[in-house]
Amino acid sequence: MKQKKKYNIVLMVSDDHGRESLGCYGNPAIDTPHLDALAADGTRFTNAFCTSASSSPSRSAILTGIHNHTNGTYGLSHAQHHFSCFDSVVSLPARMQSAGYRTGRAGKKHFSPENLFPFDFNLPENHLDRNDIALAEACREFISGGEPFFLYWCSFNPHRCVNVDESSPYKPNRFGNPAEAYPGDTERFYTADEVIVPPFLSDLPEVRAELAQYYQSISRLDRGIGRLIEILKEEGKYDDTLIIYISDNGAAFPASKTTLYDPGMQLPCIVKAPQQKETGIACDALVSWVDLTPTILDFAGALPEDSKEFHGMSFRNIIEETSPENWREEVFAAHTFHEVTNYYPMRIIRSKKYKFIWNIAHPLTYPSSTDLWHSASWQAAIQGGHETFGVRKVNDYLHRPRFELYNLENDPDEINNLAGDPEYAEQVAEYCEKLKAFQTETSDPWRHKWIYE
């Protein structure tokens, strides 16, 4: 029997928020009380992954349910990069409109072409800058209108910005932090001593200075989310609304964003289902951002009977389970470009125990995005002559082998590459065949690259 009620849906996507900087994912140093409360009222997925660790490619998968190398968004959509979805793609907002939903968008876009992503309520992209409380308030009228509604709410926080803190000797990026608090808001400041340096970063003064700015930006994001949830409650919509919080990719630091190492792709995913009975759940199911569109359509009562339209599948039925049976054992990811000059295609398989990476362009030096290359964190390591950045050797980061295989149970930092070990030769061969099948199934233009090796 089909559901009669069409639930309201709010999909919140932050910009470059790594899960290591979130209270409910185990960081006691950062203040994220509203996201922590949402997790306590819902489900926190512990094995959730983007499909590409770059904004536009990731968002294209979020909003279509198909991988970016299939929908055409191979890299960033804005400015000279100019990647976009094919005209034949049917987006999530288009499907929601067809299902009788009012559709709204607030904050960052980073999708193209815009005509494929129709929204009835469509705020100018940059007019509220990094003021997430104001971004939430700007949605109040849309939320209070008729039901059902779908709101796509996308903060610019905690993405890097063009400004640095000139008052600091380490010149950290400001991560969009304002010189003065926005009206009606109070900034949460952090010192370099307060932050926790994750293993993929080096414990350098420059890194700590940038993490302090990054934390500040995340706390502002959290306050905006708190206001959005408060509005849903004030308007009597909270209980009957599906709320999803994710990030498009990992933190804007080297060894995270633009990489398919776990810091770049294993992300926060917090889901509060309508009328959820079991709360505070930590679910270890492997979920992917290509699952988001089918899951949302499932709650909307609009999931097509032919699930082959999507590369993902609805996780609606496992939201209140901790370790679901009969769920997938692996997820796939595919990264090709970030900026148009950052060509480094990778295809990966990730299970709970293993990760396998095929570096298609492995003879090339790994390219860094402009903001990460110029960051105080990376320049401190390079100019200081450090052989390592975090737990990884700089040379290994820049020059990668054709294949990488990691046992994540024994090696969670992905340092000990097993791909060249004869003991794992058969496993490597099996993963290669799985990747070829995945590429064939998803019409990957890079499928033919196997013949050149």
DSSP secondary structure code for residue 77 in this structure: -
157 and 299 inside one domain: yes
Q: Per the domain annotation, does 403 fall within a domain? A: yes
d(CA 276, CA 337): 39
Question: Which of 324, 351, 379 marks a domain boundary?
Answer: 324
Q: Give per-residue pLDDT as tens, 68-106.
A: 999 999 999 888 999 999 999 999 999 999 999 999 999
170 and 297 inside one domain: yes
User: Domain of 198?
Assistant: 8-324
What is the mean predicted confidence (pLDDT) over 230-237? 97
Q: Per the domain annotation, does 3 fall within a domain? A: no
pLDDT at 1 over 50: no
Q: Per the domain annotation, does 2 fall within a domain? A: no
279 and 372 inside one domain: no
The CATH number of the domain holding residue 341 is 3.30.1120.10
- Report the alpha-carbon angle 117-118-121, nearest 5: 125
114 and 43 inside one domain: yes
Question: Which of 304, 324, 344 marks a domain boundary?
Answer: 324
309 and 355 inside one domain: no
340 and 312 inside one domain: no
350 and 416 inside one domain: yes
Q: Per the domain annotation, does 367 fall within a domain? A: yes
252 and 382 inside one domain: no
pLDDT at 3 over 90: no
Q: Per the domain annotation, does 120 fall within a domain? A: yes
Q: Per the domain annotation, does 346 fall within a domain? A: yes
165 and 285 inside one domain: yes
Q: Give per-residue pLDDT as tens, 411-450.
A: 999 999 999 999 999 999 999 999 999 999 999 999 999 9
pLDDT at 4 over 80: no
Q: Which helix (H) or strand (E) holds 203?
A: none
Long-range pairs for 166-173 at CB < 8 Å and ≥24 separation?
168/209, 170/205, 170/206, 170/209, 170/210, 170/376, 170/380, 171/206, 171/376, 172/206, 172/209, 172/210, 172/212, 172/213, 172/376, 173/210, 173/213, 173/371, 173/375, 173/376
Question: Which of 300, 324, 348 marks a domain boundary?
Answer: 324
Return the closest-CA partner of residue 332 out of 435, 179, 210.
Answer: 435
Q: Give per-residue pLDDT as tens, 121-165.
A: 999 998 899 999 999 999 999 999 988 999 999 999 999 999 999
Q: Per the domain annotation, does 416 fall within a domain? A: yes
Q: Per the domain annotation, does 329 fall within a domain? A: no
343 and 304 inside one domain: no
The CATH number of the domain holding residue 191 is 3.40.720.10
What are 356's strand-pairing partners?
A: 349, 405
Return the closest-CA partner of residue 20 out of 32, 33, 38.
Answer: 32
318 and 345 inside one domain: no
Is this structure's pTM higher than 0.95? Answer: yes
227 and 289 inside one domain: yes
State how many domains the chain has.
2
